Amino acid sequence: MDHRRTKDLKGEEEMDKRQIAQEIHDGKCVMGLEFGSTRIKAVLIDQTHAPIASGAHDWENRLENGVWTYHMEDVWEGLRDAYAQLKKDVQAKYDVRLTTMESMGFSAMMHGYLPFDQDGKQLAEFRTWRNTMTEKASAELTERFGFNVPQRWSIAHLYQAMLNKEPHVKDIAFLTTLEGYVHWKLTGQKVLGIGEGAGMFPVDSDSLNYDGAMLQVFDSLTEKMGYSWRLQNILPKVLNAGDDAGALTEEGARLLDPDGDLLPGIPLCPPEGDAGTGMVATNSVGERTGNVSAGTSVFAMIVLEKALSKVYPEIDMVCTPTGKPVAMVHCNNCTSDINAWANVFKGFADAIGSDVDMGTLYTTLFNAAMKGEPDCGGVLNYAYLSGEPITAMEEGRPMIVRTPDSRLTFPNFARSLINGAIVTLKIGMDILVVQEHVRIDRLLGHGGFFKTKGVGQKLLAAALGTPISVMETAGEGGPWGMALLAAYRAHREAGETLESYLQNKVFSGSNATQAEPDEKDAAGFTSYEKRFTAGLEIERAAVKAITVE
């Protein structure tokens, strides 16, 4: 080894650290924070858009009275802890106290239902994207609008509450999403990025606002049902990427940092959902680009050249953070069942006295899947912890199913877990690719599913029949994407589009690995998908036979 070169590298690292420390001290960095389904994560980036520090807080949704929810005290506890861990990371790495920034932004798992009265009192439990309790409202609004309204959208939850004659509906003065709520409390501004706004109520990509004709249709319904409010008056104002979304107030600074170190006045960008931050984090905001975000849920976002030929209940029409139309295939379930089985294996390892960390366990599980038979040897995994609209499942019952002659080996079992996490996505994507002939130049993957190098990427490529690229930054995911939106708010030049900013200033020198579909893997997945689809009646029978207390 050249010890002189080692010394040079150490000197460069120290110089970089000093430069970053100065940027932090001068308030030249930017933060993005995202409320994921199982983790709240904050990422701080420097002037080159590279992550330089992070903090996280683990949390879980609750199933209470048949409703998937999070308590608001959990929201604030998690927010403060994630930010505190970020501060600690900054102090440990750069020996500087974090007090201010150029910009910040907040994102969260998509949509859901958070209603408040005129005094700011929460009127009902937070109903998350995971709930599939709005089937009647979703179907009726889809028919009235001539536009697909998914069950998880805020408007579907609101209309279902109206149909149910829930007493709180008459008192609603403000309806928002999780990140819209946090942004409101930190800035006093009732706003939302247009990408997430499109998941509250359909938007018009030309006017960059809620669809006016559909607003009129809905208001006629509220009037007939005797409600005095009008929808546009209770929804957040939608903003485009780069717009001024207010600044951190004194009260907001204390909510985020009870230590009192953080100064008010920091500009905020429009809050966005995890679908939007995923598009940004993978540079997939231009036409014919797409991304697959795979974690607790999995969804594919394809930026369209033209509208689809008709309404599909399996396909959501949303938009990019700049309002371009996007076809979205969303599945409620992805890695949660993998996580559950990983915990089982960890328990077994502990029981035999083997000290295995979870990172090693996940890597072992994913790598074993690559040694399994392409069709998983006849082993099927239904990874439905909750309902799944694409396959018309109102509820979920996770299960492993196999025939007596199936080959239950650890590699086949591991591969069935991976295939079970993405098979429903494939069912939805077939509508776009096979029926609508949507063209995709680039499909990028990000999220926890892709952390083990090559495995999730290769198997998804085989499943979808298209190359899948994963960038070096794929593990950063939504929080980094949110930080990039905050950086765009702070640094964009006059007339500079988000597409141009990302391509020229963020991703121009980025590296990505690409996996091509393997013929044997693709054939095996096709066989798996056919058996999975045929066996959906087993899942329906389990839902009917086994009730949730």
Options 3.40.50.10680, 3.40.50.150, 3.30.565.10, 3.30.420.40; CATH for 275-333+428-515 is 3.30.420.40
Q: What percent of the chain has pLDDT over 70?
A: 96
> What is the reported pLDDT for 295?
87
- Is residue 526 over pLDDT 80? yes
Work out whether strand 103-108 and strand 298-303 pair parallel, antiparallel, or are unpaired. Answer: unpaired
* Alpha helices for 203-357 (secondary structure H): 212-224, 231-234, 250-256, 274-281, 336-351
Give Cα separations from 231 to 28, 44, 62, 503 (angstroms): 39, 36, 29, 37
What is the spatial distance between Cα 128 and Cα 510, in angstroms, rounded to a whole number?
Answer: 34
Q: Per-residue pLDDT averaged across 310-332, rounded? A: 91
> What is the reported pLDDT for 275?
87
- Position 132 confidence tier, pLDDT thresholds 50, 70, 90: confident
- Position 477 confidence tier, pLDDT thresholds 50, 70, 90: confident
DSSP structure class, residue 392: T
Give the containing element (helix H, strand E) for 423.
helix 410-430
pTM for the whole structure? 0.80
Neighbouring residues of 549: CB distance < 8 A, sequence distance ≥ 6: none
Q: Per-residue pLDDT averaged across 270-278, rounded? A: 93
- Position 187 confidence tier, pLDDT thresholds 50, 70, 90: very high
> What is the reported pLDDT for 446?
82
Enumerate the CATH 3.30.420.40 domain ranges in the chain, comma separated.
275-333+428-515
- From the list 196, 195, 212, 216, the residue with the least C-alpha distance to 204 is 212
Neighbouring residues of 459: CB distance < 8 A, sequence distance ≥ 6: 369, 370, 415, 418, 419, 422, 521, 525
Summarised one tens digit per residue, pLDDT across range 431-469 is 998 999 998 888 898 888 998 988 999 999 999 998 899
> What is the reported pLDDT for 196?
96
Size (the chain), residues: 549
Q: Per-residue pLDDT averaged across 333-339, rounded? A: 95
What is the spatial distance between Cα 239 and Cα 485, in angstroms, rounded to a whole number?
Answer: 12
- Burial group, residue 432, by CB count within 10 angstroms (0-12, 13-18, 19+): buried
DSSP letter for each residue of 462-476: HHHTS-EEEETTTTT
Q: Which two tokens stand for residue 285?
A: 């905001």
List residues bridging with 512 in a β-sheet. Answer: 471
> What is the reported pLDDT for 134?
94
Q: Judge whether 368 and 414 are in contact, CB under 8 Å.
A: yes
> What is the reported pLDDT for 8?
47
- Is residue 122 over pLDDT 50? yes
Q: Judge whether 497 and 323 are in contact, CB under 8 Å.
A: no
- From the list 161, 66, 168, the residue with the least C-alpha distance to 118 is 168
Give Cα separations from 152 to 68, 74, 525 (angstroms): 11, 21, 29
Query: What is the overall mean pLDDT for the chain?
Result: 93
At residue 326, φ and ψ (nearest 5 deg) are -135, 135
> What is the reported pLDDT for 58?
96
- Position 255 confidence tier, pLDDT thresholds 50, 70, 90: very high
Q: Per-residue pLDDT averaged across 328-340, rounded? A: 93
Summarised one tens digit per residue, pLDDT across range 344-389 is 999 999 999 999 999 999 999 999 999 999 999 999 999 999 999 8
- Is residue 474 over pLDDT 90? no
* Alpha helices for 45-177 (secondary structure H): 72-94, 135-145, 154-163
- Is residue 2 over pLDDT 50? no
List residues bridging with 34 in a β-sheet. Answer: 41, 107
